[in-house]
Amino acid sequence: MRRLLKGLPVRLITLDRFPGIPPVREDGSTFRANAVKKAMQTSRRVPLPVLAEDSGLEVRALKGRPGVHSARFAGPNQNDKANVAKLLRGMARVPASRRQSRFVCVMAVAVNGKLVRTFRGICHGAIGFKPAGRGGFGYDPVFIPSGFRKTTAQLGGREKDALSHRGQAARALTGWLRKVF
């Protein structure tokens, strides 16, 4: 986020500066619902505007899964590698022509428990047959953005920011912030 919001007249402060705030349970059925819930609940406890986001991977052949459960797809206490392995197992018999997917990100801004605005970004692509690349995190080693032959884990930070779902949402946010400030 610091890289994506660089050059704006804002200072990002993480929740590490507010140790008493409990984590927000992400139980919404959409990325927007989770982002809004996190922003609103946190902004009730923090005397500053709050930016929260929720994002994940939706795979057409899996009827939109893992979706809002992207980080927990392989189960509780699992890691990115386990999530990718479960995804690839679930798609083992899916041909290249049916591996469409997309990353979705929704960012929400709230102040004093009230929603101010949301921003959305979507990056379309496909799921590869095996992991490739060492960059990024999550499903980056198997996600191939539309128009590319590399996974997002094989792209550089600037290249990924230019096309990613998070980069798109952040650019919408920055455009709004430039109007506000």
The per-residue pLDDT of the chain, averaged, comes to 95
Residues 132, 3, 18, 179: what is their CA dihedral angle, to the nearest 10 degrees? -130
Q: Tokens for 84? A: 């990718």
> Residue 37 has what pLDDT?
98
Q: In what order do the strands lie in the sheet with 50-59?
A: 50-59, 100-111, 114-127, 143-145
Interatomic CA distance for residues 148 and 160, integer angstroms: 11
Confidence grade of residue 30 (pLDDT, cut at 50, 70, 90) = very high
Tell me: pLDDT of 38 over 90: yes
Confidence grade of residue 9 (pLDDT, cut at 50, 70, 90) = confident
Share of the chain above pLDDT 90, in %: 86
Query: What is the pLDDT averaged over residues 61-72?
Result: 97
Q: Which of 9-23, 76-90, 124-138 has the lowest mean pLDDT?
A: 9-23
Residues noted as catalytic = 54
Interatomic CA distance for residues 110 and 43, integer angstroms: 6
Is residue 114 helix, strand or coil? strand
Q: Which of 6-15, 124-133, 136-145 has the lowest mean pLDDT?
A: 6-15
- CB-based contact 146:60 (threshold 8 Å): no
Query: What is the pLDDT averaged over residues 141-153?
Result: 97
**Strand pairing report for 114-127 and 50-59:** unpaired
Confidence grade of residue 4 (pLDDT, cut at 50, 70, 90) = confident
Interatomic CA distance for residues 156 and 58, integer angstroms: 23
Interatomic CA distance for residues 89 and 139, integer angstroms: 14
Interatomic CA distance for residues 178 and 95, integer angstroms: 44
